Structure 1
Amino acid sequence: MTSLKKSQHPYLQTAGLIAGGTSLVLAALAYKYPNRPIFSDCRDDILTADALPLLGMTPAIFKHRQTIHDYFASLIDRFDEMTGTGVGIGIPRVILTIDPRNIDHILRLKFENYIKGPIVDDAAGDLLGHGIFNADGEVWRYQRKAASHIFNIKNFRDNFTKVFLRNLKSMNTDVIDVAAQTKLPLDLHSAIHKYTLDSFLELSFGISLEDMTDEDKTKFVTSFDACQRNVIQRILNPAYRVTESLEGWLMPWKTSMKQHLDIVNKFAFGVVEQRRLELANGGEYTDLLSRFMGAKNHRDQSLGDKELRDVVLNFVVAGRDTTAQSISWTLYELFCNPGVKYKLLAEIKETITDEMETNAAEMYEAVKGMKYANAVFREALRLHPPVPANAKVALQDDVWPDGTQIKKNDYIILTPFGQGKSQDLWGEDAEQFKPERWFTKEGALRSEPPSKWNIFNAGRQVLGTTVALITISSLLRRYDFKLAPDQEITYQVAMTLPMKNGMKVYVKQRK
């Protein structure tokens, strides 16, 4: 790759110097994708990545599109600084930072100046609409406030935990026990995703996948996952509208993104319509959808069907995916580090009883007090953050604490994935799985500032943390897992951090 240097502009400064077909291609891109500028001003004050003439970093992005989080992490390492920039054809000026001072500035001190922006909205809008995962400003603030009243500690401890414990018991009986009896390899990653999807659909829509036919269930889950994976590929591909159309012509047998989205929408709007009828007929429900039906939006209006669909699908994405993947990556690290696993198992045996697993409140409080389990989970999230990258765009010029000059419309990438790998932040053993780093010398559980450990978006907790600890504790109490040989465990590029090929394990029941 091209070595890094202070920014030599990767593009010719005037369109007149670009000849023939190249000029036509660039003009077409500029017209078709106005939110992806073809040209960008020189930025001599920031280190620039892969600054090829004219093409900039576009070839590198294309080459690493399936491992983009590692690519961003490698850029930070090559910058030998915590902030750098890059630009390419159809790719706006992007400034990448892992500096905790900058992250605190962006996500807290100057939060109003940084929004998700038109490129993210263009790529994710048809799936996420204006739900919390994709919203900005007043819309985001309203949804977060409304959700905080629903997902309060008491409600989560006493009511929601019951749903997860019940679905966890079903997964153990119907899936993991069967794998132990047959001695066949089990895709544990897939099983956990189904368990969390069942739980979050029940909490969000008030339904269970068991209420759906096998055909409808398969269609919805397949399309839901396909749409999510496609969002990031759209962001990385400035000509995604063209390539998606070409796929339809060249591979007519393949389900298109439009068809996947139609399946998701049919399900979501169908549930919204059914719930309106049930509530009108005097039914009482406590799920997220029903609660939002009685709420007002940021304009003090009742929510329409599209707003309800956006709100609930976003919480399914935010809850089901991040929870399932956090559990999966934590278990993977435990399988690869038996010393840590046995130490955690000892704490689980000392703390958790069979009776607790039938009492949601007791189980909730028990796992909260397990120091080593919490350290293990934090360490797993450091190396495998459930949301590995966060894109923003600057509304106005700004100056970051490290001195970086930010201009209006600059795109910002925060990479918790790269931050967790940084030796500058975590020491020379940054890439090692060491839960002990989360303890002080006195043995207390260490709290790192959210600007350094940017897992929960500068302090906003995800709902699935306690659920993950309950699930992991319950699984390790009952089963001994062993990774199946000859498999590659790696991530798939998506909005979150799923395992690309799943995680196959052999299961034995503990005596």
Structure 2
Amino acid sequence: MPDKLVVSTPEAFDDVLKQQFSNFPKGSYMRQNLKDLLGDGVFAADEELWKTASNFFTKTTLRDSITATIQRHTVVLFDILGRKLFNRFALEVVAEIGFGVRMGSLDSDEEHPIQKAFNHAQRALLLRFVRPGWFWKIQRWLGVGVEGEFKHDLKVINTTVMDIVEKALARRSSNNSDNANDILSLILDNVGSSPNADKQQFDPVFLRDIAVMFLVAGRDTVAQTLSWLYLMLSKNTYWEVAIRSEMLQKTVILKPDATDITIEDVDQLVALEAVLMESLRLHPPVPMIPKYVEKDTTLADGTFVEANSLIVLATYAMARMEQVWGPDAAEFKPLRWIDSSSGWAEIAPSKFRLYLGMDLVMSEMKLVMAGLLTKFHIEVQDLEKVAHDVSLTLPVKGSLDAKIIRCTYSKLPKHS
């Protein structure tokens, strides 16, 4: 197991993600630990493979598909919101946006097996980073312990994902897929025209890797962010009222048919954007980002970093550092994202490689939040008992119990 250096300053992040980016690939250690689940998908990819896949995750390309898909599935979500559905909703949406396939998990009485399989698999992968390599490899070889369970979970994931890919390819070969806007169709359409694409990469194994990557990214990021966001709104009720007031002022929503909401509508909602960004700051979907150090180097602050070690970007820790965010770093304050002169949410442009599909996920979450706020007040119960679970990402431990109150235009929840 390589030595690890954990950093949490903006200067160190800038070094790793921008100034010396080429010296900090994911590396063989990351590939070894993640390959069983993610294959050579975008999370485990470097250089040309990442560039090829990143072309398919632009908001412009997927705008129409995202809007139509979310509008359709939020109708079902509204009808059955009393159940544990954020994970199911996210899975259903990303499966259709990514592959044009409907899984039917949202209105099912049973949770789809892939949900538990993904949860268990990510816990197993996290443990690979804190245990000696020989230990988990022996467990995997013997099929015992966490690795034995992971082997079973991987079969569930691979069976489900390959079924999704096969259905998507079958639909694509039919006469009804000429104008398909899902990720898989966009990838296949661009194989011949992309100068960076190696056609041999676009085989069933590569498509499986892309599918797993997309399902993990979309399911976890959306479901977990919605969970933490509603926890923050339940603790800070003023901001729910502020978002609703902005909706009324801009006449964007709070109208009879909330499924008419578009990306253009939610892009006008400054309070919603600020609340979402502040929730993501305090509860980042990926709390720690490990990178491999290819050669000896020195960071801007003078810290020497040895080759063949790991440098870990502690995003969760940096979000709570007073020297970065001020004395109120641990507090939920969406105003920090709103420019006092322009009145718009101020978000720094991405100057280095960040989370693929961030625009896509932000659009999805804003559409879902706006739709939910037009119809429901969601009040999380037992606020102080909510905790993080052990995972590569940042899920809520167990279920997030909430009281659901249907809203009317004449009677909206007030700030308490």
- TM-score, normalised with respect to structure 1: 0.71
Q: Match for residue 75 of structure 1?
A: none
Secondary structure of the corresponding residue to residue 289 of structure 1: helix
Cα distance in 2 for residues equivalent to 1:501 and 1:475: 22
Secondary structure of the corresponding residue to residue 44 of structure 2: coil
Secondary structure of the corresponding residue to residue 104 of structure 2: helix
Q: Match for residue 315 of structure 2?
A: 416
The CA deviation string for residues 371-391 of structure 1, in whole angstroms up to 9 with x for no partner, is 111111111111001111111
Matched, 1:291 2:186: yes
Q: What amino acid is the match of 1:286?
A: N
Q: What amino acid is the match of 1:236?
A: V
Contact 2:8 2:318 in 1 (8 A): yes
Q: Is there any run of 5+ residues in structure 2 with no aligned partner, and where?
A: 409-416
Q: Is there any run of 5+ residues in structure 1 with no aligned partner, and where?
A: 1-35, 37-91, 180-185
2:382 to 480, 485, 493: 485
Matched, 1:240 2:136: yes
Contact 2:26 2:45 in 1 (8 A): yes
**Per-residue deviation, 1:301:** 3.2
Residues 1:215 and 1:434: Cα distance change in structure 2 (over 3 Å): closer
- TM-score, normalised with respect to structure 2: 0.86
Q: Match for residue 354 of structure 1?
A: 255
**Per-residue deviation, 1:468:** 1.1
**Per-residue deviation, 1:119:** 2.6
Secondary structure of the corresponding residue to residue 52 of structure 2: helix
2:156 to 263, 273, 276: 263
Q: Match for residue 139 of structure 1?
A: 49
5 Å-filtered alignment, 1:17-166, equals 36=1, 92-145=2-55, 147-148=56-57, 151-153=58-60, 155-166=61-72
Cα distance in 1 for residues equivalent to 2:138 and 2:265: 53
The CA deviation string for residues 413-435 of structure 1, in whole angstroms up to 9 with x for no partner, is 00111110000101111101111
Residues 1:451 and 1:414: Cα distance change in structure 2 (over 3 Å): farther
Q: What amino acid is the match of 2:288?
A: A
Aligned-residue Cα RMSD (Å) equals 2.9
Residues 1:473 and 1:111: Cα distance change in structure 2 (over 3 Å): same
Q: What amino acid is the match of 2:323?
A: D
Cα distance in 2 for residues equivalent to 1:280 and 1:477: 39
1:461 to 350, 353, 358: 358
Secondary structure of the corresponding residue to residue 402 of structure 2: strand
**Per-residue deviation, 1:230:** 2.1
Contact 1:349 1:477 in 2 (8 A): no
Q: What amino acid is the match of 2:64?
A: D
Secondary structure of the corresponding residue to residue 347 of structure 1: helix
Cα distance in 1 for residues equivalent to 2:388 and 2:36: 24
Contact 1:220 1:267 in 2 (8 A): yes
Q: Match for residue 367 of structure 2?
A: 470
Residues 1:443 and 1:387: Cα distance change in structure 2 (over 3 Å): same
The CA deviation string for residues 307-328 of structure 1, in whole angstroms up to 9 with x for no partner, is 0000121011112211121122
Cα distance in 2 for residues equivalent to 1:193 and 1:369: 27
1:332 to 198, 215, 231: 231
**Per-residue deviation, 1:216:** 9.3
Matched, 1:218 2:137: no
The CA deviation string for residues 160-201 of structure 1, in whole angstroms up to 9 with x for no partner, is 21101111111111x12xx3xxxxxx5xxx411111110101
Residues 1:267 and 1:160: Cα distance change in structure 2 (over 3 Å): same
**Per-residue deviation, 1:329:** 1.0
**Per-residue deviation, 1:281:** 5.3
**Per-residue deviation, 1:476:** 2.1
Residues 1:111 and 1:508: Cα distance change in structure 2 (over 3 Å): same
Q: What amino acid is the match of 1:138?
A: E
Aligned residue-pair number? 398
The CA deviation string for residues 432-487 of structure 1, in whole angstroms up to 9 with x for no partner, is 111112233325335354799x9x83897342112212212222221122222387
Residues 1:270 and 1:209: Cα distance change in structure 2 (over 3 Å): closer
Q: Match for residue 45 of structure 1?
A: none
Residues 1:345 and 1:213: Cα distance change in structure 2 (over 3 Å): closer
